[in-house]
Amino acid sequence: MGVKIKDQNKINDLLKAFDKDHKIKIGYVGSKSDQAHSGTDISIGDLAEIHEFGCKIPVSEKMRKYLASQGLFLRADTRYINIPERSFIRSGWDNAEDEVMNKLDELIGELVQTRIPINILLNMIGLEAKGKLQQYARDVSNPPNHPFTVAQKGSSNPLVDTGDLIGAMDYEVD
């Protein structure tokens, strides 16, 4: 009488899956980032960059006149409008990294036990991180909007207006 042993572990499959370089990009990726922001000429990706790093917008005479027509009278020596840095991607990641990495550790346990394929794990981590960054962006309050901006938007939340910016955040798995 012979004994037959059938090895059902998936260690070789697991090693092959980890042998590849896997990346998760979180932020403004894909076609959503190229879409125009609420009827403007600026893309969602460009708007995200402006808020993430801040910018100085040169004041033209046309801009000066438009702002005056809206009730914002700039001083004659104003040459730039400063949009302050409101890092929500870098700071959001710094804020969420431990939680996301703990989730990854938990899911790797599931992967090792072959309950989930690696592509599902990567998508779950991408979705988790995206949600954390979106929540962080919704909660950003500093630096506050200029009172003129608050009056125009009807809200004081610096990164929330139409929902386009936060809604366009996404992730990709490579």
Q: How do the domains of the chain map onto residue ranges?
A: 12-41+87-173
pLDDT of residue 3: 65
Note whether 161 and 153 are within 8 A (CB). yes
* Cα atoms in the Cβ-side hemisphere of radius 13 Å centred on 112: 6
Cα–Cα–Cα angle for 83, 89, 94, rounded to 5 degrees: 120
The predicted pLDDT at position 105 comes to: 87
Q: How far apart are CA 41 and CA 39, in angstroms?
A: 7
What is the pLDDT, as a whole number, of residue 26? 92
Report the C-alpha gap between 20 and 173 in whole angstroms: 12
The reported pTM is 0.80
Q: Can you give the pLDDT at residue 4?
A: 62
pLDDT in the model for residue 153: 85
Q: Is 18 in contact with 160 (CB distance < 8 Å)? A: no
Q: What is the pLDDT at residue 2?
A: 66
**CA atoms of 49 and 46, how far apart (whole Å):** 5
CA 70 to chain centre: 32
136-153 as b/e: b if 16+ CB within 10 A: bbeebeeeebeeeeeeee
Write down the pLDDT at residue 88.
94
- The predicted structure's pLDDT at residue 85: 95
Tell me which residue has tokens 């346990």: 109
Write down the pLDDT at residue 121.
87
Q: Are 157 and 138 in contact (CB under 8 A)?
A: yes
Q: Consecutive 10-residue runs of the chain (174 residues): their mean pLDDT?
A: 58 57 88 83 92 95 94 94 94 95 86 77 94 95 89 86 89 91
State residue 6's pLDDT score: 58
